[in-house]
Amino acid sequence: MTTTATAPIDTQIQSPLAHLSEEQLEELGREFDAIRDRVMAELGERDRRYIESMIEMQRRLAVLGRVLLLASRNRSAWWAGTSALSAAKILENMEIGHNVMHGQWDWMNDPRIHSSTWDWDTASTAEAWKHSHNFVHHTYTNIRGKDKDLGYEIMRIDPEQKWHPVYLAQPVYNLILAGLFEWGVALHDLDFEAIRKGKKPMPQVKRELKGIVGKAKSQVVKDYIAWPLVSALAAAAVDAGIEARQNRKQPRGLLGRVSRRKRGNRWTPVVEAAVQCGSRTFRQTAKANATSNIVRNVWAYAIIFCGHFPDQTYTFSPQEVEGESRGGWYIRQLTGSANIDGSPLFHVASGNLSYQVEHHLFPDMPSSRYAEIAPQVKDVCERYGLPYNSGPFLQQLGMVQRTILRLAFPGGEPRPKPGPYRGENGNGTRG
C-alpha cells in the first residue's frame, strides 16, 4: 500500500474530465471508436480458435474433475478432482459465460456460442443477468443510485452513499456474500428496489423467481445428487468386487459350509462393504462439488469487487453525467474501472476482467483482445491527462476490504485518486 497523500483531501473529488474541452472529448471519443473498429474489423479465425479451445479446455477439465471424483474417498483424488472442477467452473463462468453473454463472440454467427442461446452454470438466469449486467451496470457504470452493482444494494462502498445502521453488519455479510456470490448475484438481478417501488410487474418478478428456482434445482440435482450418486455407485461396485473376490478365496466344500454357518450369509459382507463405501463416497463427492462452487464464488467475488471498488476508481452523480457525450461516456468507463496486474494465466482465470478498463470501454470486444489494446488505451490516457487504474491483485483486494470495513461506520471520505497516467514507469501517484 503506498498511501502517501499528505495534503488535506477534498471531500469533493474533482471530475476526471474537468480539464478537457468539448472538442477534446469529441476527439477522444473518436480515438476510442477507432481502436474498437480496428479490432472488430480484423476478427477472424485466430479469435475463433481462441474461444473454441477455451471451451474445449473447460469441458476437458470438467470431465477430468468428475472422473477423478469417482474416487473421491481417496484424499489425493479428492484434492485433484476438486481442483480440476473448480478450475472448470471458474473458466465456465468468467472467460466463457460472462464474455459470451456479453455478445463478444456473436460476430461468429455460431448458434452454439451466441449471447442469445448461452446458458451458464450459476444461479442467475441468462436473461435476468444480461439485463442487470449488460444493460444496467454497463450503461450506468459507477453512477450513484443508477448502477445497482455499486455495492450491490446491500453494501456501502462509496462515502457518498447515506449511512444506515444496517451497514454495521456489512463486514460480516461481505464474507457471506463472497462464499455465496452466485446466489447474491441471482437475487440482485431481481432488483428489490424496483419491486418495492412497484416498477417491476409482478408476473415478471414471478417469472424471474421461477427462473432462479429452476437454476437452483439443476445445480442441486447435478452437484449434490446426480454426480455423488454416480461416484457412490462406481465406488460401491469396486468395493463389492474386491470383497467378493476375497470371499471366493474362502474354503469350499464341507469345511467352507461349516465356517459360513458360523459367519452367516457369504454375501452379507459384500453388501456391507458396498453400502459403507458408497455412502462415504457420496458424501465426499458432494463435499468436493460444494467446495468447487464456493471456490468459484469466492474467486468471482474477488475479481469483480476489484473491478470497480478499489480506491482509484471514480463514482459519479446523476447530475454530473447529464447530457454526457460519447467521449464523456468513455472517460466514465475508464475512470470508474480498475485493472489487476497479472500473468497471462491470471488474466484467463479472471475472464480477462483483470482488463476491467478495456472491458468497460469495449464490452462486446472479444476478451482475448484486451491485452492487445491495453497499450493503445494507456497511450490515449497519457495524451489526454487521464488516469489508467491498475494494481496488483492483493493490493486492490486489500483496498476494497478496507473500504468495506471503514464505510460500515458513518462518515468516510473519498480516497485520493491517482493523477494522470504518465507511462509505464512515470506514474508515482497511485492511490
Partner 1 sequence: MAERGAVPNVPKARQRALHAVRSLFSPLLPDDYLELINPLWSTQELRGRIERIDQETADAVTVLIRPGYEWQGHRPGQYLRIGVIVNGVHHWRAYSLTTDPGRPDGLIGITPKLVDAGKVSPYLVHRARPGDIVRLGGVEGTFVLPDPPPPRLLFISAGSGITPIMAMLRSLDRDEALDDVVHIHSARTPDGIIFGEQLRELDSRRSGYRPHLRITGEAGRVTPAQLDELCPDWRERRAFVSGPGEMLDALVGHWREQGDPELLEMERFQPVIGGNGVAGEGGRIRFIKSGVEANSNGGTPILVAGEEAGAELPYGCRMGICHTCIGRLCSGEVRDLRTGEVYGQEDEMVRTCVNAPEGDVEIAL
Q: List interacting residues with partner 1 (CB under 8 A).
A: 33, 37, 43-49, 56, 59-60, 63, 102-103, 106-112, 114-117, 119-121, 130-131, 134-135, 138-139, 215, 218-219, 221-222, 226-227, 230, 329, 363-364
With respect to partner 1, which residue has the nearer C-beta, 74 or 134? 134
Provide the minimum distance between the beta carbon of 7 and partner 1 in the complex, in angstroms, as a whole number: 38
With respect to partner 1, which residue has the nearer C-beta, 44 or 201? 44
Burial class from Cβ neighbours inside 10 Å (0-12, 13-18, 19+) for residue 134 reads middle
With respect to partner 1, which residue has the nearer C-beta, 106 or 160? 106
Provide the minimum distance between the beta carbon of 31 and partner 1 in the complex, in angstroms, as a whole number: 14
Provide the minimum distance between the beta carbon of 117 and partner 1 in the complex, in angstroms, as a whole number: 5
With respect to partner 1, which residue has the nearer C-beta, 51 or 407? 51
With respect to partner 1, which residue has the nearer C-beta, 48 or 283? 48
CA torsion sign for 324, 310, 83, 74 is negative
- Grid cell locating 123: 444461479
Provide the minimum distance between the beta carbon of 73 and partner 1 in the complex, in angstroms, as a whole number: 20
Q: How far apart are CA 417 and CA 221, in angstroms?
A: 47
Provide the minimum distance between the beta carbon of 59 and partner 1 in the complex, in angstroms, as a whole number: 6
With respect to partner 1, which residue has the nearer C-beta, 329 or 346? 329
User: Residues 332, 145, 418, CA angle at the centre, nearest 5°?
Assistant: 35
With respect to partner 1, which residue has the nearer C-beta, 225 or 405? 225
Q: Do strands 390-392 and 339-341 pair parallel, antiparallel, or not at all (unpaired)?
A: parallel
Helix 393-406, helix 268-308: angle, nearest 10: 80
With respect to partner 1, which residue has the nearer C-beta, 22 or 56? 56
Q: How far apart are CA 312 and CA 416, in angstroms?
A: 7
Provide the minimum distance between the beta carbon of 411 and partner 1 in the complex, in angstroms, as a whole number: 35
Closest alpha carbon to 143 in 305, 355, 314: 314
Cα 369 → chain centroid: 19
Distances (CA, A) of 18 to 28, 44, 286, 320, 383: 14, 39, 55, 11, 15
Provide the minimum distance between the beta carbon of 39 and partner 1 in the complex, in angstroms, as a whole number: 12
| DSSP one-letter string for 403-429 | HHHHTTSS---PPPPP----HHHH---
Q: Say which residues have a Cβ less than 8 Å from residue 250's Cβ, sequence separation at least 6.
A: 256, 259, 260, 266
Provide the minimum distance between the beta carbon of 391 and partner 1 in the complex, in angstroms, as a whole number: 26
Provide the minimum distance between the beta carbon of 311 and partner 1 in the complex, in angstroms, as a whole number: 27
Distances (CA, A) of 420 to 25, 75, 192, 383: 16, 52, 38, 9
With respect to partner 1, which residue has the nearer C-beta, 365 or 407? 365
Q: Say which residues have a Cβ less than 8 Å from residue 247's Cβ, sequence separation at least 6.
A: 266, 267, 269, 270
